[in-house]
Structure 1
Amino acid sequence: MVRPHTLTPIFKSTLVGSLLVLTASVAFAQDHFDPKGNAPSQFTIEFQNEMRKSLPFDDERDFEESRRGLIATPDYKQILTEDGSVAWDMESYEFLLKGDQFDTIHPSLQRQAILNMNYGLYEILEGQIYQVRGFDLSNISFIKGDTGWIIFDPLASKETAAAALKLVNDTVGERPVKAVIYSHSHADHYGGVRGVISDEDVADGVQVIAPSGFMEHAVSENVYAGNVMNRRLFFQYGVLLPRGPEGHVDQSIGKNISSGTTGLIEPTRYISDDFEEMTIDGVKVVFQNTPGTEAPAEMNTYFPDLKAFWAAENITGTIHNIYTLRGALVRDALSWSKHINKALYSFGQDAEVMFASHSWPRWGNERIQEVMRSQRDTYANLNNGVLNLANKGVTVNEVHNVYEVPESLQNQWSARSYHGSVEHNSRAVINRYLGYWDANPTTLIPLSPKDSAPLYVEMMGGAAPILAKGQELYNDGMYLQATEILNKLVYAEPQNQDAKDMLADAFEQIGYQKESPSVRNSFLAAAYELRNGLPQGASIETTGPDTIKAMPTSMWLDFLAIRLNSEKAADMDFSINLHMPDRDEQIVVEMSNATLTHIVGYNDDDATLSVEINRSDLEKVMTGEERLLDLIKDGTAKSTGDTSVLDQLASVLDQFDLGFELMPGTGAQDLTEEANAFAQPALANTNGG
């Protein structure tokens, strides 16, 4: 296959919705980062041109609003950790601001990516509300109280949050932090808390406020499938993709995830009512609980005296994920719509500014109501329209090719799906109500792909005709059709590099054409791994020890049970009493039938082993700092009975590795360091929801 790496510049009239004036655009601006990479095909170029004609690029209000109120821009573009590594780098995305229009990027996505280049301190409401944007995947907001700052959502990393606090203090005047509000239970909304307050500050009276259920969901949402979720994040967030027009360009709700130090300080107060009023440092606030929207625990906030509405991550510059591609429980689009509607009628009638934990604010009541209604209606129509089709017999494997967002919503930027996509969100709605089965018995007990693929390859006459047909489909711009047959060949012959390369070529063109960066990244990242394999040393940021220490003991034991290799444990039979006097907690752990179970609040008089250890000391085992047997030997923990069962249990616990294959033939790698047997692996990265 011909793989050109540069094309002649193509002149355009404007750079769609950009801050810049465009004189010429470049379809393929530089050598591809991957030697096997391709330029956008003529079919992709034609698709992008059609999108430029069909979308409402003359509506530039988002650009006007995103620029409004800028009062300080730092003289640096990188934020470093204490050891000098880069925690945040906006400079790497400046190719987006040079006036080029890239045919490797969906024009709507390029518009969103430029909007997310805002970087600095913004005054949202004069003398009252400030926001730092472009320092992390999320925004951090500062409300001026009588004596100090009330901070909403302290970013994902300590380093980025500390830099943001310094910027606002240096610009507006230094003030102490009086309260921190976590809008919801995803890591990019609490992970940087130790950059703005400490445990000592909390002991001295600084409030930490969160919606009811915050701690439970901040810890639990991604424990049990954490390893696989982190691996899938390689695709959704394009972890291995360099930043550039053929690689990573944006993450829809922000540029990317920071890679600094994450932490967690437990809230001092929870908001449990549907609506709850309180005054914080002289500022009157009304919290609205919105469980089951973008996060299991989430809340909006209204400032009645300021006529300002904080929309958390419920209303941002994109339609969000109903199903997030890294993996999570499917969300409720109808409930999401109803919570927005309740906010619209409770606060939206009077609000004059709406700001959120991602994207940019909107000003003026008419504009606020327009955006609230467009997002309310998009989530509602997604739920209702998909179920309308399902009730007519359209299945989970068809609906993404049938359901369409109403045209009036397609023509509103606030209703475009960047973080989510119409394709995967529509399938999620059916999955939520009906599950994965399409009611065809053939798909009820399907063969594994590696078992079914050889049947297809044999019937198609082997690799040669499949490659020939795949090339023909690719040449005709029929990329999805090409993937249908090439994927079978790759599963049947995982070491067939020609097949993997051709499948990667089709993935690449599909990725270039996708509006959602999560979908774009998934296709481009899969193409990269098909061509090159998974490199050694690849990694992803995960939650820190604060989150592991916050885990209930029961959840830690649940994950030990998930790690249990049943084949190895086939002949084991024992029970352990675990007593934690500092929490007055008693648990029985039982091994039987190659299964590990436990029950809280009981004691087994005939237990094989009884261990007494303070939960504060057990946390050192959970984080891998200490071994349980060593704590028993040095007297930190006390035991009676047969301690050899701890060695037995340790011997049958699998250690999950991050480097397993997502696409066949890409080569598993050992990416996870060995840890103490009972150490809890880092939890899944929940940044961005």
Structure 2
Amino acid sequence: MKNLLANLTATAVIAASASVALSQEASHFDPKGKPPSQETIAIIEALRGSLPFEDERDFEEARKGFIAKPDFTQIMAEKGNVAWDIGSYDFLLQGEDFDTIHPSLQRQAVLNMSYGLYEVMPDRIYQVRGFDLANFTVVKGDTGWIVFDPLTAKETAAAALKLVNDTLGERPVTGVVYSHSHADHFGGVRGVVAEDDVREGLVPIIAPVGFMDHAVAENVYAGNAMNRRLFYQYGVLLPRSPFGHVDQSIGKNTAAGNLGLIAPTVVIEDDIKELTVDGVRMVFQNTPGTEAPAEMNTYFPDFKAFWAAENITGTIHNIYTLRGALVRDALEWSRQINAALYLFGQDAEVMFASHSWPRWGNERIQEVMRAQRDTYANLNNGVLHLANQGVTINEMHNEYSVPESLQQQWSARSYHGSVEHNSRAVINRYLGYWDANPATLIPLSPSESAPLFVEMMGGAGPIMARGQDLYDSGKYKLAQEILNKLVYAEPENQEAKDLLADVFEQIGYQQESPSVRNSFLAGAYELRNGIPSGASPKSSGPDMVRAMDTYLWLDFLGVRLDSAKAGDRSFTINMITPDNGEKFVIELSNGTLTNLQGYLADDPDLTMVLNRSDLEPVMMGMATIEDQIAAGKVALAGDTGIIDELKAMLVQFDLGFEILPGTGEQDLTPEANAFQQPEPADTSGG
């Protein structure tokens, strides 16, 4: 593998800024951090000898078509912070094999160091890679650029478009396509097009059916928990280092800039729909229920070019996303790839996507499409094959395995997903979380059961001694079983937390999936250091709140309601927003806040009339409801004291809640107006 990485680095095609390499002997970023154990090194060495590193086609494809890279590696955000820094991963380009990184993951991490402008099809299709988690893709029309998936942030998208124009000649943006409803595929739209041009019909924005619903709704109800869990899946607190964050499988990381949203003006509702934009003929294939609830592929029949969105990339994706999301349908995903194979794959000569690198030549395209089709189908069918023989959700990840023929194909390796958590997701989709053992149906919480386990094991002393023995002998999963119990029983036992952190770290080093690696390493970091204060990442911008349906805002007020504070109080509110013709009946009863759109109560306790445009500043925290009342923008009739009562019943969720015991809650969320809607969670990467 070392020769392969050195060869890639020597091409200077996938190069970033010249920074000091981090060698194997480099210091760990955490004073309590440990190097890879001999057991971990042995596993890493065995993997280097068992994977098909002789297949270098992905590297050839990642290099192909390189045109130019900018003279910078950082992109600054409008607020003054660094929005993007590809140079922080330069340690991956020094040709060194790290024993702290699964060799397959290190290979993927190097492939994702592509940085600059690439030609996909001469004088027609180009990509800027390495400016964000996703690729910035432009298709040359008769008069301008059609942009596919304008990245996460305004700043990175603007920088990518500037590189295109500076290198290829300046052209206006004549269309934008959102392939799906995750933030890294639409959030940078304000960096490429002005909203006025969209409203005036000068620039169409095209998206799949259901896009606006899912772009927001998927991330609202559990948004605070999802953003906290993002600390683990995306390693938010981990430095970029061979001991920490090295990759995010479909790209390096997500940009930390200004996330926006402009609503689409053209919605693709049919399963197959052909449109011509700026002289470019495109055939859209709706693929709902795959990588996103709203997603579509695109075929360019005149170019024999297939855009696979995020349905076919350089990895097997998440069926279950660790930050949290509804479980996806692996079988439907496979079906949609199969449909694309027969609709477009028989003729396509280039396949490109919103992540990873293109594939050229029909034989290669069909090879990758079939490998991914079969992997998702086998995941679904193989798990259910075992489930129907009694294998449970708590055993499945240790029983299901990908067929050997697929394991030897790089395009079928699980980086964004993992075989372990995806296999459990499939059984959860069909059978739920219960393994059918009554003892696990209504179990004690870990903090309640752990003291009994610790008592029966003879207390902390024997557990620590045995845990250390298991750690020293490389039996990390056995060690975590008993040490996890001790930490739950004794959250203030720092010695126990440190040893459990050592165990998590070694398990993390061994993982192929960066999401799983990051989760173990993030857990180790917090066990050792607690949750750092001020570590709150920005999740989204005001456009996302503005785009929320009113019922979503009301639904989330119901989530925020503290039933104990509500007690037996009951009231009914009619709310009318004349400018958009909406009306709602809102009821508090039985400690529960409900709403129903399209209805009004005959005898409400309070009636509120305000335009939706005047409600939005309240939702975004730019004004309070009292401000709008004082400004004469709200008409009230009835018991106005209900507003203060409701405010007192609402809880503001804080991002800094504990995941692991004894890591210390932190106040990471600024105080907000009572009716302010927290920003939806970040869905970047799916």
Q: TM-score, normalised by structure 1?
A: 0.97
Q: Given residue 101 of structure 1, which amino acid in structure 2 is its aligned partner?
A: D
Superposed CA offset, 1:470-507 (max 9, x none): 00000110001100000000000000001000000000
The reply on whether 1:603 has 2:600 as its aligned counterpart is yes
Q: Which residue of 2 aligns with 1:319?
A: 316
Superposed CA offset, 1:23-66 (max 9, x none): xx998331100000000000011100000000000000000000
Which of 613, 630, 633 is equivalent to 2:627? Answer: 630
Q: Which residue of 1 aligns with 2:164?
A: 168
Give, in whole Å, the separation in 2 of the partners of 1:21 and 1:209: 40
The reply on whether 1:213 has 2:214 as its aligned counterpart is no
In structure 2, the residue corresponding to 1:301 is in which secondary structure? strand
Give, in whole Å, the separation in 2 of the partners of 1:238 and 1:155: 20
Q: Which residue of 2 aligns with 1:180?
A: 176
Superposed CA offset, 1:423-474 (max 9, x none): 0000000000000000000000010000000010000000000000000000
Which of 440, 446, 450 is equivalent to 1:449? Answer: 446
Output aligned runs, 1:285-324, within 5 Å: 285-324=282-321
Q: Given residue 19 of structure 1, which amino acid in structure 2 is its aligned partner?
A: L
In structure 2, the residue corresponding to 1:200 is in which secondary structure? helix
On the 8 A contact 1:15/1:21 being kept in 2, the answer is no
Q: Given residue 404 of structure 1, which amino acid in structure 2 is its aligned partner?
A: S
Q: Which residue of 2 aligns with 1:679?
A: 676
Q: Given residue 194 of structure 1, which amino acid in structure 2 is its aligned partner?
A: R
Q: Which residue of 2 aligns with 1:3?
A: none
Which of 477, 480, 487 is equivalent to 1:480? Answer: 477
Give, in whole Å, the separation in 1 of the partners of 2:366 and 2:488: 50
The reply on whether 1:64 has 2:53 as its aligned counterpart is no
1:304 and 1:361, CA in 2 relative to 1: closer, same or farther beyond 3 A? same
The reply on whether 1:190 has 2:186 as its aligned counterpart is yes
Which of 464, 467, 470 is equivalent to 2:467? Answer: 470
On the 8 A contact 1:18/1:114 being kept in 2, the answer is no
Q: Given residue 459 of structure 2, which amino acid in structure 1 is its aligned partner?
A: G
Give, in whole Å, the separation in 2 of the partners of 1:109 and 1:191: 27
1:13 and 1:582, CA in 2 relative to 1: closer, same or farther beyond 3 A? closer
Which of 229, 232, 235 is equivalent to 2:229? Answer: 232
> How far is the alpha carbon of 1:20 from its aligned partner?
3.8
Give, in whole Å, the separation in 1 of the partners of 2:2 and 2:432: 47
The reply on whether 1:33 has 2:35 as its aligned counterpart is no
> How far is the alpha carbon of 1:14 from its aligned partner?
3.1
Give, in whole Å, the separation in 1 of the partners of 2:631 and 2:616: 16
Output aligned runs, 1:237-636, within 5 Å: 237-636=234-633
- Report percent identity of matched pairs: 70
In structure 2, the residue corresponding to 1:347 is in which secondary structure? helix
1:85 and 1:21, CA in 2 relative to 1: closer, same or farther beyond 3 A? closer
> How far is the alpha carbon of 1:85 from its aligned partner?
1.4
> How far is the alpha carbon of 1:133 from its aligned partner?
0.3
Give, in whole Å, the separation in 2 of the partners of 1:34 and 1:543: 30
Q: Given residue 183 of structure 1, which amino acid in structure 2 is its aligned partner?
A: S
> How far is the alpha carbon of 1:584 from its aligned partner?
1.0
> How far is the alpha carbon of 1:601 from its aligned partner?
1.2
On the 8 A contact 1:17/1:59 being kept in 2, the answer is no
Give, in whole Å, the separation in 2 of the partners of 1:130 and 1:541: 30
Output aligned runs, 1:138-177, within 5 Å: 138-177=134-173
> How far is the alpha carbon of 1:203 from its aligned partner?
2.5
Unaligned 5+ segments in structure 2 are: 12-20
Unaligned 5+ segments in structure 1 are: 1-11
In structure 2, the residue corresponding to 1:185 is in which secondary structure? coil
Give, in whole Å, the separation in 1 of the partners of 2:6 and 2:661: 40
On the 8 A contact 1:181/1:208 being kept in 2, the answer is yes
> How far is the alpha carbon of 1:588 from its aligned partner?
0.9
1:263 and 1:13, CA in 2 relative to 1: closer, same or farther beyond 3 A? closer
> How far is the alpha carbon of 1:200 from its aligned partner?
1.1
How large is the Cα RMSD of the aligned pairs? 1.2
On the 8 A contact 2:22/2:91 being kept in 1, the answer is no
Give, in whole Å, the separation in 2 of the partners of 1:415 and 1:603: 54
Q: Which residue of 1 aligns with 2:114?
A: 118
In structure 2, the residue corresponding to 1:414 is in which secondary structure? helix
Greater Cα shift, 568-577 or 181-190: 568-577
In structure 2, the residue corresponding to 1:284 is in which secondary structure? strand
1:20 and 1:464, CA in 2 relative to 1: closer, same or farther beyond 3 A? same
On the 8 A contact 2:3/2:95 being kept in 1, the answer is no
Which of 37, 49, 53 is equivalent to 1:53? Answer: 49
Greater Cα shift, 414-423 or 585-594: 585-594
In structure 1, the residue corresponding to 2:47 is in which secondary structure? helix
Give, in whole Å, the separation in 2 of the partners of 1:627 and 1:52: 59
Superposed CA offset, 1:149-205 (max 9, x none): 110000000000000011001111111111100000000000000000111111232
Q: Which residue of 2 aligns with 1:7?
A: none
1:26 and 1:141, CA in 2 relative to 1: closer, same or farther beyond 3 A? closer
Q: Which residue of 1 aligns with 2:3?
A: 14
Superposed CA offset, 1:543-596 (max 9, x none): 111011111101100000000000000032111111100011111111111111
On the 8 A contact 1:27/1:104 being kept in 2, the answer is no
In structure 2, the residue corresponding to 1:567 is in which secondary structure? helix
Give, in whole Å, the separation in 2 of the partners of 1:166 and 1:341: 37
> How far is the alpha carbon of 1:607 from its aligned partner?
1.1
> How far is the alpha carbon of 1:16 from its aligned partner?
5.5
On the 8 A contact 1:16/1:57 being kept in 2, the answer is no
Q: Given residue 149 of structure 2, which amino acid in structure 1 is its aligned partner?
A: D
Give, in whole Å, the separation in 2 of the partners of 1:29 and 1:423: 31
Q: TM-score, normalised by structure 2?
A: 0.97
On the 8 A contact 1:15/1:100 being kept in 2, the answer is no
> How far is the alpha carbon of 1:252 from its aligned partner?
0.2
Give, in whole Å, the separation in 2 of the partners of 1:29 and 1:165: 40
Give, in whole Å, the separation in 2 of the partners of 1:119 and 1:90: 8
On the 8 A contact 1:236/1:326 being kept in 2, the answer is yes
On the 8 A contact 1:18/1:63 being kept in 2, the answer is no
On the 8 A contact 2:6/2:95 being kept in 1, the answer is no
